[in-house]
Each structure stands twice: as C-alpha cells, then as structure tokens.
Amino acid sequence: MDFKQLEAFVAVVDYGSFSEAARRLYLTQPTISAHIRALEKELTARLLIRTTKKITVTSKGYQLYDSAVRMLHIRDNLLADFTESRKHIIDLGVSTIPSSYLLPELLAAFGRHYPDVYFHSFQSDSAEAIARVLDGSVDLGLVGQDTGEESCCFIPFCRDSLVIAAPVTPHYLKMAEKKVSFRDFLKDPIIIREKGSGTKKEMDIFLEKAGITPAELNVVARMNDLESIKKSIVNGLGISVLSARSAADLEKTNQLLLFPLDEAGHTRNFYIVYSKNRILKPHVRQFIHFVKDFYQLHDNA
C-alpha cells in the first residue's frame, strides 16, 4: 500500500467517479482502477462496488476511507512543516549511476529555478526503477537502459562511457603505457554486476559485439552494490566494467586506473522513462524539459 493508491481511492470516493478521479489526479482511468485493485488485493476486501450507474462504497471501504484521509492529511502537514511551504511532489525511481552521480547536481540546479517542487527518490537498479514506473508508484524514472517496454516512453538525456576499471598496480600501470583491448584482460579476475543493472546489460551487448562469450571471463565475484565493487577493485580483488562517471572520482585521486573499451558501442545513454498510460502533471513535464536542457548545455559546454 502506498500514498498514490490511497489518493486514488479517496478521490474516487470523493468524486463518485473513476473518470473524475483520474482527471483530478492527472492519471488515466486504467491507472485509477489498477490502484483500487491493488488495494483490494492487499487488504483482501472489497472496497467499491462499481455498476454502470453508480459507485457504492462498502463498509470496509468507508473504514479505509477514514484512515486514508487522516494518513494523507498527516503526510501533507509533514511536508508543509519540513519544506516550509506547500510544494508539488515528484516521485522518482532512479537507478544506481543517475542516483549517485547525476541526481545531486540535477536537483540542486532545478531547485534554484523551481523551489516549489519537492522530490521523493527511490534508488534501485534500472529494472526495478522501470517496474515502479509501470505500477504507478513513481511519476517517472531516470535509468541506464531502454528495455523496449511498449507501455513506456524512453527519452535519452545524457551520455556515458563504459570503461575497464583496474587497481593501481605495476601490472596495470605497465598496461596503461600502451594501447590495449578488452581481450588483453580476459585472464584477469573480473567482478560482474548483477542482472537488472543497466551497466550489466550494456556490458553484455559490448561482449556480444566483440565476439566474447561469458565463459571466457574469469569471474571472481558478482555484486549489485556499485560502491562495494569500486572498493573491491581498489583493494585488488579484480577488475570490472564501470560507468566512467561513477569511477571518475577514484581516478582523480589515483585509486583506480581506467581503460577505455575498444570497439564501437562502448558508450550508452541514460533515459528519462515514464508511462504512456499516465497523464503527466505540469510540474513533472517541467522537470523532464529541464533535465533534457540541463545535460545538453553541460555536454556542449
């Protein structure tokens, strides 16, 4: 159960109509229906009886309505108290790299122009962030892969490079003196990201283009936490394929050596993703335009 589901339910009861609730909340009718079904499934209770002429609220529905109104009121008051004003809310599902290396500068810049918007961010891998977009628990996502999901719109907003990250040892310092390819690292121990990561998907695409099978890799660990991977490389566990943006800080402090990937296709996009079945609120559309313009300006600077 989440606030968006409760908002949908309260709106249907208040306005006596799924279509009017959808209009008021900037959602589609199918999304409102999905939220109500999810609540009924979780609570194992019928909340609304819908006929062609009217909507009837059940006794369990009225019980939930009273509690939901109080919960939403408490939430709104808390936001007002902590943000000192009534702000628009944007719920974001953000994958690892955008969350750690893009979002801080992005939200700071956006906040200077639009101080009346409050963000609620959920960090996960790209697959889970997209799943949140699909189930309506977030307004949009910032992710590292385009899955081709037909009910979603993917807008590229920022480019990144994939690099081989290696510890600073005599072996790799010597390799850094000459031009190398990924095949020169095949015998080296390598740390792989878990399935669901946008970086993992892009690495798989790269290996396929380069004609390298997963069986040829000397995998010593599989991890999902990016910071753990970086620390493991620094401490000599192995190498890994990382986002250049995520490894730049450790390269600057001489804790990692970065080698560009050979072959074409070692760059990838980050995407804004939102559901085609959702009507975007004006401040959400405003944020999308800002993100696109922000990185166009910075990448061309």
Same domain, 46 and 110: no
Same domain, 237 and 98: no
How confident is the model at residue 301, as a pLDDT?
Answer: 45
Assigned token pair, 16: 């006596």
Same domain, 203 and 260: yes
Average confidence (pLDDT) over 79-100: 79
Over residues 130-176, the pLDDT tens digits come to: 999 988 889 999 998 899 999 999 999 988 888 999 999 999 999 99
How confident is the model at residue 280, as a pLDDT?
Answer: 84
DSSP one-letter string for 58-105? -HHHHHHHHHHHHHHHHHHHHHHHHHSS--EEEEEEEEHHIIIIIHHH
Domain count, the chain: 3
CA 144, CA 127: separation in Å to the nearest integer? Answer: 9
Handedness of CA 271, 125, 235, 219 (dihedral sign): negative
Average confidence (pLDDT) over 96-124: 90
Fill in the amino acid letter for 280.
Answer: L
Average confidence (pLDDT) over 218-243: 93
- Contact by Cβ (8 Å): 12, 55: yes
Same domain, 172 and 248: yes
Same domain, 163 and 230: yes
Same domain, 245 and 165: yes
Tokens 């020169």 identify what position? 184
CA 218, CA 225: separation in Å to the nearest integer? Answer: 20
The number of CA neighbours under 13 Å toward the Cβ of 148 is 1
How confident is the model at residue 205, as a pLDDT?
Answer: 83
User: Over pLDDT 70: what percentage of the chain?
Assistant: 94
Over residues 268-282, the pLDDT tens digits come to: 889 999 998 877 888
Fill in the amino acid letter for 243.
Answer: S
CA 48, CA 57: separation in Å to the nearest integer? Answer: 5
- Contact by Cβ (8 Å): 254, 260: no
3-state secondary structure of 167: strand
- Contact by Cβ (8 Å): 268, 144: yes
- pLDDT band, residue 299 (cuts 50/70/90): low
Cβ-based neighbour number of residue 225 at 10 Å: 12
Average confidence (pLDDT) over 230-245: 93
Name the phi and psi angles at 95, rounded to 5. -80, 175
Residues contacting 78, CB < 8 A, separation 6+: none
- Note the pTM of the prediction, 2 decimals: 0.65
Cβ-based neighbour number of residue 143 at 10 Å: 30
Fill in the amino acid letter for 174.
Answer: K
- 3-class SS shares of the chain: helix, strand, coil, % to 5: 50, 25, 25
Same domain, 150 and 94: yes
How confident is the model at residue 84, as a pLDDT?
Answer: 54
Range of the domain at 48: 3-83
Q: What is the CATH number of the domain that holds 70?
A: 1.10.10.10
Q: What is the CATH number of the domain that holds 202?
A: 3.40.190.10
Same domain, 193 and 259: yes
Closest by Cα among 77, 101, 103 to 92: 103
- pLDDT at residue 290 above 90? yes
Same domain, 229 and 98: no
Which helix (H) or strand (E) is 239 found in, with range?
Answer: strand 239-243
- Contact by Cβ (8 Å): 45, 63: no
